[in-house]
Each structure stands twice: as structure tokens, then as C-alpha cells.
Amino acid sequence: MSARTPAPTPAPTPAPTPAPALTAEGLEVRIGGRALLRGVDLRVEAGEVLALVGPNGAGKSTLLAALVGDLPAAAGSVHVHGRPVADWRLRELARERSVTTQEHHLAFPFAVADVVAMGRAPWHGRPESDDDETAIADAMARTSTLPLAAQTFPTLSGGEKARTAFARTLAQRAGIWLLDEPTAALDLGHADDLLADVRRAAVGGVAAVVVLHDLSLAAAWADRVVLLEAGEVVADGPPDAVLTAPRLTSVYAHPVEVLRHPATGALLVLPRRAARPAAHQLEESTP
């Protein structure tokens, strides 16, 4: 009697591919009959820093507001973890993504420590709220806002308000960060510190979308750069591939140079300027 042939071992079922943290497909935004965004496709993965860049009026802040859900789409869709943004409850969504806007206004004179603590509001009543004190203290330490803790928010400088707003994002500990020009009011050191924190968070799994005007900062800290012009994506890819002198000169309608730092090799994006005339040349040209 022959031995029975063993049944073949079934192939393992592949694990489902996780949905991207954030997507936009065919996104179009219209206000007053004017198209501010047209046919924008975007995909942001966990662990990635994506910089949105482009000239004034290109649609950067509009795109961020549409990703947040503050601006309705005339066409297309936005999904968070594969689910339409409109299907999320606000508090539930606040546990998934944090938003930092360009403008920092508060109706009441809250102390800085209280503003940072607002980032923990989505976690009230949940086990994560046990980490509130640690999250707030860590966020304030990393943004150098501990010395401002008792100061009221309206009395802060523009840079101090920006650092406080970012501290609130850090304290929130969401998995998706949407930051609109977070470095605009910051000095050189604080701007680099903030983006280093964004990079550190991405290494830990956060998906970050950052609107930036400084193209050298985008080159230094972003994994991908999306270049917008007149409401459309004209390039999407690694900084080296997107931030080229001919493309930027065309999009910004101004001569641009892209250089390598002689010591570090970092990408530097600079406007091409004529040599500054000497004082005697200015005097000679004065009528």
C-alpha cells in the first residue's frame, strides 16, 4: 500500500498593504468661479517629509487647506488612511492629524503653557491622556518655549507665536502633520531646529506636509518636493530632481541658481543677482 502524498502547504496570504497616510486625487478647488487648484494628485506615506513649494499664488496654502478639509473640493477627493476626510468625526480626525496654520490668532489671552496643552485635547478621556504632562513638557523643551510658559499668547513676538503653535503640534502627537509656512517668522537657528523636529518625527513614522518658501530649507529637510504653479503640480520628486535651475527660473519668473555647498554638498537654491554697484557708481548715477 503506497504512502499518501502529503497535501501541498498553502501559500501564505500576503499582508494587506497599508493605505497611504494622506492622498488627494484629481483635486480641484474653486472660489468665486476661479480655479485655485486643478487636477492635483498627491500621495503622502508615513515616515515621509513632503515640502510644498512654489511662487506666491501657486496654490500651496490652498492645497494644504483642502487636505485639512477646510476648503471643499469642487472635484476629486482627499483621503486620510484610505478614508474620505469628510467621513471622519472632528475629534477622531484630530487624533490622526495635526494642523499648524500661517496665522496664529486666539480670542482670549491664554498663557503659552495652556496653548500648548490644547494639543492634548483630542486625547481627553482616553488612556493616552496619562501622557499629557510628559507630552507638553517635552514639546515646550524642544521648542524653547518653557521660559515663555506664563506669558500670554498675544504678547509674544511672531517667532515666539510660531514656536508655541509648533509646540502644540508636537504635544498633540498625531501621525500626520500639516504645517503651513511654520518657519516664516523664525530666525535661522529656530527654523532649522523646527525642521529637524519634523525630520525626527518622520523617522518615527509621522507623515509630514510642510509649505515652505525657502527652497534651500526644502532641499535640506524634505524627502520629496512638490512644485506648484498656478494651481497645478508641475513637478513631484526628490529635491535634486525637482529643484533644477531651468525649472525654477521658469516657474518663479526670475533667474535662479542651484549650487552645491563646497563643504557639505548640500543643495543651495539662490536668486541670481547682478553685482551690487560700488558707492562711487551710485553717486555718478545720481542726478
Provide Rg for the chain, Cα atoms. Answer: 23
Residue 176: inside a domain: yes
Q: What is the DSSP letter of 266?
A: -
State the residue range of the domain holding 79: 22-238
How far CA 241 is from CA of 52, 59, 236, 267, in Å, comes to 14, 21, 8, 11
- We report the CATH number of the domain holding residue 53 as 3.40.50.300
What's the rounded Cα separation, in Å, for the pair 73 and 232?
Answer: 15
Dihedral pair phi/psi, residue 212, rounded to 5°: -135, 145
Tens-place pLDDT, residues 133-186: 999 999 999 999 999 999 999 999 999 999 999 999 999 999 999 999 999 999
Grouping H, G, I as helix, E, B as strand and the rest as coil, residue 164 is helix
Residue 245: inside a domain: no
- Across the chain, mean pLDDT equals 91
pTM of the model: 0.88
Stretch 111-131: mean pLDDT: 96
Q: Is the dihedral of CA 150, 155, 157, 162 positive or negative?
A: positive
Residue 285: inside a domain: no
Residue 285 confidence class, pLDDT cut points 50, 70, 90: low
Tens-place pLDDT, residues 15-62: 556 789 999 999 999 988 899 999 999 999 999 999 999 999 999 999
Question: How many domains are there within the chain?
Answer: 1
The residues, any chain, with a CB within 8 Å of residue 16's CB and separated by 6 or more, are none
